[in-house]
Every structure is written in structure tokens, then in C-alpha cells.
Amino acid sequence: MPPTRVLAETLTAWKLAFNSHRPEDMVELFSLDALFQGLTPALLTGREDIFGYYDALSPGITTSFHIIQTRQLTQNVVCGFATVSFTYPDRHKVPVQLSLVLRRAENRWLIAQYHVSSISRGKPSGEATMSAVMNPFGADDD
């Protein structure tokens, strides 16, 4: 299966479970030892931690995604980038970037690594200055 299809099918299943606030279904998409960085500072490992993260979210938040690019690293490993938008019940939107690594276990693709980063409202994605990258907490001098 092409890597874009692998990512699309996995993210579609994730989106359906997320939009229905079914954390028990979301965690089934992750490997048992998955690494997870959501929008909180906590670094999570494994399904139990990931379940707690998703279970703590308020019902009514929905998401949509757009795949940016994918790579087939090995026969059993696919990675990629997507933009994701979370929409809260009050219509407030939070756009993020998502990087994923998926690993095939038997005949099933599972998320082995999930990392979200917020998108700055300033400059568009991909246009961060070197000074911002080297000193993300300092003032933008450019």
C-alpha cells in the first residue's frame, strides 16, 4: 500500500474516533510502546498514557486533517506530515502540524510516534527565521 494511503487510512480512523470522543478506539491505533507529544508539555509513552490524554479532552471538539507529505522508510515503516485543525464547540480553531511514524505489526499499521506542534499565527509554516529556530524564546529580530 502506498505511504500516503497508509497515513490517510490511519488518520481517517483517528479522526472518526476523535470526533466521536472515543478514546478507547483512538488508542487502538497506537502501538503498545508509542511515543506521544500532544499540545501539553507532557511526553507520553504507551496506550494508557495516550488514553488519559484523549479521555481528558472535552467532548465536542472535532478535527480535520490534510496530508502534506509521506515517506516509506522501510517495508514496515511509514512517516509523514499533516496539518490538523481542532475546532472547539464555540468554533474556535487551533491549527497544528503533526508528524507521525507508523509501523506495520502483522497486517495492521499502528502509530509508533505522534508529535504535534502549534502553528504560529505570525509567519506561515516553513518560513521561521534562523534566529527564531536558534532562540525560540527570544524576540524576533528579523
Query: Looking at the domain assignment, is residue 100 inside a domain?
Result: yes
How confident is the model at residue 106, as a pLDDT?
A: 87
Secondary structure (3-state) at 58: coil
Determine the residue type at 26. M
Residue 98 lies in a domain: yes
Expressed as residue numbers, the domain containing 53 is 3-119
pLDDT along the chain (142 residues), means of 10: 95 97 97 95 95 94 96 96 95 94 95 92 49 41 42
DSSP class of 92: -
Residue 131 lies in a domain: no
Please state the separation of Cα 119 from the chain's center in Å.
13
Beta carbons of 112 and 34 less than 8 angstroms apart: yes
Q: What is the pLDDT of residues 93-123, one digit of tens each?
A: 999 999 999 999 988 999 999 999 988 765 5
> Could you tell me the pTM of the whole model?
0.82
Specify if 130 maps to a domain. Answer: no
The total of structural domains in the chain comes to 1
Residue 43 located in a structural domain: yes
Q: Is residue 135 part of a domain?
A: no
> What is the CATH number for 67?
3.10.450.50
Question: Residue 30: inside a domain, yes or no?
Answer: yes
Domain assignment present for residue 137? The answer is no
Site of grid cell 471538539: 61
